[in-house]
Amino acid sequence: MKKIGRNDACWCGSGKKYKKCHQRFDEHLKQLQQQGYVLPKHKMIKNEEQIQGIREAAVVNNGLLDYIEENIHAGMTTEDIDILTRNFLAEHDATSADLNYQGYPKSICTSVNDEVCHGIPSKDVVLKDGDIINVDATSCYKGYYADASRMFMIGEVSDEAKRLVEVTRECLYKGIEAIKPYESTLNDIGRAVQHHAESNGYSVVREFCGHGVGLSMHEDPYVLHYDPGYKTEVLVPGMVITIEPMINQGKRDIHIGDNEWTAYTDDGKLSAQWEHTLLVTETGVEIISK
């Protein structure tokens, strides 16, 4: 492979000369590598134009979640949430990344109570007082993707359910706070999430993880919500990832239901999840899905 010259076009696709773009960045990364860090691959680094596109996709995706937040209520079905989603995305010139993804049949995920993730909207699932539900949306706008999810509490919810929802949100933010550009690694995110969940008496689901996002829904790297105990990539500016911890009230064990998508807790206890799309910046982190 030919070494990139100072006046060559930068590998990031910006169209700028390498010396005016990622040359200093690469020198910094080389130093980190000498210190023993694992470096992210070039394709995990977005350029300015891509980041701007992802921000715009996030505006639509956040608008969708706001719209659902305003309209969710006891007595509606999760199918109704799918209808809200389809209408909103059509009106905003956007599409659902979920629809037809590996055969997924709907435009959004709606996971109620003991459903961990990938709950499929259905006419048969009526939201009732006391339910907790995760609504997970991934929108595609002008070819760019943003992914986020929120928990909603329907009517009067038990104190235990509220605490799970709140601690799970804190787990997401502990993960975000662990992002230190050129310094922390993906493990640090997982460790922070796991520590907060377990010190509150909860468990972390391991079968699903966060991910790179932006040019498609799921990209490298994996973002684990626990510390796997091996070295993972250092976090550097231009990486766009999700953090989306699934936290169980009881044991972490899960199974997939008959529809071959929806994950449930084995013990039937509650599960919660919150998700943001995040950009690592020169000085910290930007919550794109906010």
Residues that bind ligand MF3 (CB under 6 A): 98, 101, 104, 109, 118, 136, 138, 147, 244, 275
Contact status, residue 193 vs residue 171, Cβ threshold 8 Å? yes
Residue with tokens 């999810």: 149
From the CB of 205, what's the least distance to ligand MF3, in Å? 13
Q: Which stretch binds Co ion (CB under 5 A): 41-49, 79-87, 93-101, 141-149?
A: 141-149
From the CB of 143, what's the least distance to Co ion, in Å? 18
Choose among ligand MF3, Co ion, none what residue 101 binds, the Cβ cut-off being 5 to 8 Å by kind: ligand MF3
Indicate the pairing of strand 240-243 with strand 276-280. antiparallel
Cα torsion at 239, 148, 225, 241 (round to 10°)? Answer: -10
Choose among ligand MF3, Co ion, none what residue 85 binds, the Cβ cut-off being 5 to 8 Å by kind: none
- Per rule CB under 5 A, is residue 277 in the interface with Co ion? no
Q: Which of 98, 115, 131, 147 binds Co ion (CB under 5 A)?
A: 147
From the CB of 121, what's the least distance to ligand MF3, in Å? 10
Choose among Co ion, ligand MF3, none what residue 82 binds, the Cβ cut-off being 5 to 8 Å by kind: none
Q: Which stretch binds Co ion (CB under 5 A): 64-72, 139-147, 197-205, 230-238?
A: 139-147
From the CB of 270, what's the least distance to ligand MF3, in Å? 19
Of 25 and 67, the one with the shorter C-beta distance to ligand MF3 is 67
Of 109 and 270, the one with the shorter C-beta distance to ligand MF3 is 109
- Say how far apart CA 190 and CA 250 lie, in whole Å: 19
For Co ion, what does the binding mask look like between residues 84 and 123, x meaning CB under 5 A? ----------------------------------------
Q: CB-based burial of residue 286 (10 Å sphere; 0-12 exposed, 13-18 middle, 19+ buried)?
A: middle
Q: Which residues bind Co ion (CB under 5 A)?
A: 136, 147, 149, 242, 244, 275
